[in-house]
């Protein structure tokens, strides 16, 4: 089986417009969550989020592109440009046919849907722009990345709610490992911070009105974010032959289904995904130094996730660092695993562990080293990234320091 490495990374999110500024903010423990700025915000009961403020689409795209690119597609394209530029890959000839795009998103073009439902229902208009369908569809971002970079291999979009981007990256990984691609552009994006997007989440009554405090005894819910994380996954020998800079090696992936409840997480399902990733990577649990937790800040997720980690790691759980960077950038739903993988890269490459900020008080059910409030220097060889979605669909990725 081929080995798989990461040779490019890109992002845009509430903490930064690129990887360097995002990782710097993570290392500083910056909170990217702030008051939401959107139409009808006074009709919302949840008014905070990890929103990308002062974003002007016209700075990046022309009129024709904007007519086709929903906000989630725009974020994806910006992150993909950064990742591909860093990798140095140019997709022509045979390589173009052996390179594809697999991205995760949950809501896809939700902002486009929201705006156009408003046009026909609230404003009473009987006509919408001709490109609403290609703009809102969940595979639009994947398709536009493939067009912009001439990626002609296996390409599709994955939607598994909060685990979408981890599932997408897992597919990209197995595709290269199994020999059906040389390089894959992968990750995910989300732009759900529109009136309808927040209103729907309010209904579940799991959102916090005052901040995201994962694992903290005073936590009272999740806070949404937006943005994208995109990576270049490449076959190791291919990367080595062209002397590419390797950011990390992808060594394992596992997915599982709780098969139990549409919203309540299960310890058993999460534990099977975590243990599966270790098995797939053929590593002992003692090699893992850092876990980027799913850590949503809800009562249910955090205690279930901690119980699952405790079960899989046994006594080694006491040696682990496990932080949730959602405390800083919010929960990017279908794009969250991708942005969180940047914290894993930072841990492996720079030996800096991103903190769980807003941490005030220990919850005995989450009594782990959650790297409270302040980043820490530590040498880490293997990092895991957890994602556990509504629907009980779980996906865990294992990375190792660059060979």
Partner 1 sequence: MSIASQVIDIIAEQAMLDPAEITLESSLAELGVDSMGVVECIFAIEETFDISVPFNANEPSQSDFDISTVGSITKAIEKLVNEAA
Exposure string over 148-185, b if 16+ CB within 10 A, otherwise e: ebebbbbbebbbbbbbbbbbbbbbbbbbbbeeebbbbb
Pair 381, 399: CB distance under 8 Å: no
* Distance from C-alpha of 115 to C-alpha of 309, rounded to nearest angstrom: 41
For 10-34, give the DSSP string: EEEETTBSSHHHHHHHHHHT----E
Which residues participate in catalysis according to the annotation?
A: 162, 294, 331
* Distance from C-alpha of 341 to C-alpha of 32, rounded to nearest angstrom: 17
Task: Considering the complex, state which of residue 174 and residue 220 has its C-beta at the smaller distance from partner 1.
Answer: 220
Task: Considering the complex, state which of residue 149 and residue 219 has its C-beta at the smaller distance from partner 1.
Answer: 219
Q: Sign of torsion, CA 105 107 113 115?
A: negative
Cβ–Cβ contacts within 10 Å for residue 195, how many? 18
Task: Considering the complex, state which of residue 164 and residue 208 has its C-beta at the smaller distance from partner 1.
Answer: 208
Pair 142, 228: CB distance under 8 Å: no
Site string for partner 1, 141-170 (x = CB under 8 A): ------------------------------
User: Which residues, other chains included, contact 44 with Cβ-Cβ below 8 Å and sequence gap of 6+?
Assistant: 36, 195, 198, 199, 202
Task: Considering the complex, state which of residue 79 and residue 223 has its C-beta at the smaller distance from partner 1.
Answer: 223
User: Binding partner 1 by CB under 8 A: which of 299, 362, 369, 381?
Assistant: 299
Q: Which stretch binds partner 1 (CB under 8 A): 16-24, 113-121, 295-303, 380-388?
A: 295-303
Which residues in 171-210 contact partner 1 (CB under 8 A)? 203-206, 208
- For residue 289, the 8-state DSSP code is E
User: In the complex, what is the shortest distance from the CB of residue 221 to partner 1, in angstroms, rounded to a whole number?
Assistant: 5
Task: Considering the complex, state which of residue 11 and residue 208 has its C-beta at the smaller distance from partner 1.
Answer: 208
Q: How many residues bind partner 1 (CB under 8 A)?
A: 15
Task: Considering the complex, state which of residue 213 and residue 272 has its C-beta at the smaller distance from partner 1.
Answer: 213
User: Binding partner 1 by CB under 8 A: which of 71, 219, 272, 326?
Assistant: 219
* Distance from C-alpha of 312 to C-alpha of 304, rounded to nearest angstrom: 12
User: In the complex, what is the shortest distance from the CB of residue 302 to partner 1, in angstroms, rounded to a whole number?
Assistant: 10
Torsion, CA 361, CA 347, CA 320, CA 26, rounded to 10:
10
User: In the complex, what is the shortest distance from the CB of residue 296 to partner 1, in angstroms, rounded to a whole number?
Assistant: 10
Task: Considering the complex, state which of residue 38 and residue 299 has its C-beta at the smaller distance from partner 1.
Answer: 299
* Distance from C-alpha of 345 to C-alpha of 245, rounded to nearest angstrom: 13
Which residues in 36-65 contact partner 1 (CB under 8 A)? 45
226 Rama class: left (phi>0) / alpha (psi -120 to 50) / beta? beta
* φ, ψ for residue 301, nearest 5 deg: -60, -50
User: Binding partner 1 by CB under 8 A: which of 119, 220, 257, 362?
Assistant: 220
The angle, 0 to 180 degrees and rounded to 10, between the axes of the packed helices 71-87 and 110-117 is: 160
Task: Considering the complex, state which of residue 37 and residue 360 has its C-beta at the smaller distance from partner 1.
Answer: 360
User: In the complex, what is the shortest distance from the CB of residue 47 to partner 1, in angstroms, rounded to a whole number?
Assistant: 15
Which residues in 255-274 contact partner 1 (CB under 8 A)? 262-264
User: In the complex, what is the shortest distance from the CB of residue 205 to partner 1, in angstroms, rounded to a whole number?
Assistant: 4
User: In the complex, what is the shortest distance from the CB of residue 207 to partner 1, in angstroms, rounded to a whole number?
Assistant: 8
User: In the complex, what is the shortest distance from the CB of residue 264 to partner 1, in angstroms, rounded to a whole number?
Assistant: 7
User: Binding partner 1 by CB under 8 A: which of 16, 29, 187, 221?
Assistant: 221
Pair 187, 335: CB distance under 8 Å: yes
User: In the complex, what is the shortest distance from the CB of residue 211 to partner 1, in angstroms, rounded to a whole number?
Assistant: 12
Site string for partner 1, 71-90 (x = CB under 8 A): --------------------
Site string for partner 1, 95-124 (x = CB under 8 A): ------------------------------
Q: Which stretch binds partner 1 (CB under 8 A): 150-158, 215-223, 359-367, 385-393?
A: 215-223
Q: Helices (DSSP H) in 184-287: which residue ranges?
A: 195-204, 236-241, 267-281
Binding site for partner 1 (CB under 8 A): 45, 203-206, 208, 219-221, 262-264, 298-300
């Amino acid at each position: 089986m081929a080995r798989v490495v990461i040779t490019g990374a890109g992002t845009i999110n509430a903490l930064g417009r690129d990887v360097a500024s995002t990782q710097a903010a993570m290392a500083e423990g910056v909170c990217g969550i702030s008051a939401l700025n959107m139409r009808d915000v006074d009709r919302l009961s949840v008014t905070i989020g990890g929103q990308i403020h002062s974003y002007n689409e016209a700075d990046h795209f022309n009129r024709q592109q904007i007519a086709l690119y929903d906000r989630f597609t725009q974020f994806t394209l910006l992150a993909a440009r950064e990742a591909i530029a860093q990798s140095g890959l140019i997709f022509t000839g045979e390589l173009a046919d052996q390179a594809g795009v697999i991205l995760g998103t949950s809501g896809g073009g939700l902002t486009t849907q929201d705006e156009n439902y408003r046009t026909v229902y609230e404003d009473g208009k009987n006509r919408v722009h001709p490109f609403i369908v290609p703009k809102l569809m969940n595979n639009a971002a994947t398709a536009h990345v493939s067009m912009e970079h001439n990626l002609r291999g296996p390409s599709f979009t994955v939607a598994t709610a909060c685990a979408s981007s981890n599932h997408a990256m897992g597919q990209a990984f197995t595709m290269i490992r199994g020999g059906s691609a040389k390089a894959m552009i992968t990750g995910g994006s989300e732009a759900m911070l529109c009136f309808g997007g927040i209103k729907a989440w309010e209904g579940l009554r799991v959102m916090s009105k005052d901040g995201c405090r994962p694992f903290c005894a005073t936590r009272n819910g999740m806070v949404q974010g937006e943005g994208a994380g995109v990576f270049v996954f490449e076959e190791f020998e291919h990367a080595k032959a062209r002397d590419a800079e390797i950011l990390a090696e992808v060594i394992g992936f596992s997915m599982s289904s709780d098969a139990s409840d549409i919203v309540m997480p299960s310890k058993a399902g999460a534990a099977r995904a975590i243990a599966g990733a270790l098995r797939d990577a053929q590593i002992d649990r003692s090699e893992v130094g850092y876990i980027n937790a799913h850590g949503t800040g809800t009562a249910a997720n955090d205690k279930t996730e901690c119980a699952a980690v405790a079960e899989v790691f046994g006594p080694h759980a006491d040696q682990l660092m496990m932080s949730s960077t959602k405390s800083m950038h919010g929960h990017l739903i279908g794009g969250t695993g991708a942005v969180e993988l940047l914290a894993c890269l930072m841990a492996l490459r720079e030996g800096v562990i991103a903190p769980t900020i807003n941490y005030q008080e220990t919850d005995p059910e989450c009594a782990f080293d959650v790297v409270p409030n302040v980043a820490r220097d530590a040498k880490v060889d293997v990092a895991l990234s957890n994602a556990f979605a509504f629907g009980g669909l779980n996906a865990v990725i294992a990375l190792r320091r660059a060979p």
